[in-house]
Structure 1
């Protein structure tokens, strides 16, 4: 079954689009990265994204020990073991392993999981309670950062699936001049050029955010 954003998240996405992603106080955008045939225009602030800012502030928090069962510490421990296992592997291998490993976790909608319309999880919360599409992208992002990947090469992309007519979120990664897609709906890591049914809306990393327009 396809894993997707809830209706409430689709409404949130529509709201963001209608208000221009709260552009007040942002610098004049500069042309930046391109994905799925759309140009990204960069903004050097994360002010419009409080949920992402919270993730960045709190993602290093540690859970309790395995015996206490708090926040699924054993799964968190296995995550660190995965990082140790992959740290000296080729980058392409790292991408495939990270994508397939995280995709094994169960998909869970935020209203069921957290009792709120939209919630962005830090890794320990994902391992404790599973998550939805942006949570897969977030935990993949921080796994690759722990493996030494640069933030400039990673973007969490919120987009529209034109086939299913739903909102979705993925991680894109720059590798050897290609933009690769890590997607909880796709078992393999694929070149973004092979995907024609995604329309990016915006993306974020630690450095800022990008708004997309047709190229």
Structure 2
């Protein structure tokens, strides 16, 4: 994906796109027969299989925790992060202009898996929503816009904070393993958000949540439409 190079334009874009959005509450992986038929018809006959693999992954991980297969919370969350990160990083990368014929398009996880492609925003959003589905508190998660300095372009990652003041782990499609932010000097934070808040690089300023960002609202509307099928 391509964005203007000036950092102030990134921040201005985030703040100017404020609107009101309603949360999506239904299970992310509860696929109806109509939805499965729709993705098969719209994307590929293999699309439902990919959705069911994702569903099985989420349900198996949830059942393992419920059955006490993983005892310690920190160990459970670490394993959950790695599995979700690896699962979505298998999907091929495509720019929005190539994949969706749009300059900037935020795909739902269903769209990403069904079309079998996505860009950095889609990876980060799919990981964020999957971790929410698995019960990771959203205060530990921030979808984060960064400047990828080596690529000289904007990029998106998901940051996981074990505690509010802890150094976050970075979930990225560019590097397969999770690394602490201090080990990612190639990334320069621009702003971050979750369902509740939006942060500027100082970390102190909160300007509203992801539910107040226009592109996020459009994503929520698509999620709701998928769940109504």
TM bin, normalised by shorter chain, reads: 0.7 to 0.9
The answer for unaligned runs of 5 or more in structure 2 is 71-75, 205-229
Q: In structure 2, how many angstroms separate the alpha carbons of the residues matched to 1:206 and 1:20?
A: 19
Q: Does the alignment pair 1:174 with 2:161?
A: yes
* Worse-matched range after superposition: 86-95 or 154-163: 86-95
More helix by share: 2
1:141 aligned counterpart, secondary structure: helix
Deviation of 1:169 after TM superposition, in Å, equals 0.5
Q: Name the residue aligned to 1:154.
A: 141
Does the CA-based 8 Å contact 1:55-1:120 persist in structure 2? no
Q: Name the residue aligned to 1:144.
A: 131
Deviation of 1:148 after TM superposition, in Å, equals 0.2
TM-score (ref. length: structure 2): 0.69
The answer for unaligned runs of 5 or more in structure 1 is 25-46
Q: Name the residue aligned to 2:173.
A: 184
TM-score (ref. length: structure 1): 0.73
More strand by share: 1
Q: Name the residue aligned to 2:3.
A: 10
Q: Does the alignment pair 1:48 with 2:18?
A: yes
Report Cα offsets for 1:49-104 as digits up to 9, x if no partner: 79xx5996999594623697245222111111111122214111111111111100
How many pairs does the alignment contain? 183
CA RMSD of aligned residues (A): 3.2
Q: In structure 2, how many angstroms separate the alpha carbons of the residues matched to 1:15 and 1:49?
A: 22
Q: In structure 2, how many angstroms separate the alpha carbons of the residues matched to 1:172 and 1:147?
A: 16
Does the CA-based 8 Å contact 2:161-2:169 persist in structure 1? yes
Closer/same/farther in 2, CA of residues 164 and 49 from structure 1, 3 Å limit: farther
Q: Name the residue aligned to 2:97.
A: 111
1:212 aligned counterpart, secondary structure: coil
Deviation of 1:22 after TM superposition, in Å, equals 6.0
